[in-house]
Amino acid sequence: MQAADVLKYDAEGRLLSVNLDIKNPSSLEVLEHREPRELIADIARKERRVLDLIAEIDDLLSPEGA
């Protein structure tokens, strides 16, 4: 893939756009398309874990936790 395939310039050489839709032909990554409800459940599960970690850190930083 050439830069000219991705970058578009005007007559004065100013960058007009970058096409980020072009797929990387060298990428080994295979995208997994998941159902929306599955994605939501996964995001919620991770968010609960983040909130648990924040609570743990808050407990460690509180005067009672020291």
> pTM of the prediction?
0.49
Helices (H) and strands (E) in the chain, counts: 2, 2
pLDDT in tens, 14-64: 999 998 887 777 777 777 889 999 999 999 999 999 999 999 999 999 987
**Separation between Cα atoms, residue 55 and residue 62, nearest integer Å:** 10
pLDDT in tens, 9-27: 999 999 999 988 877 777 7
pLDDT at 51: 98
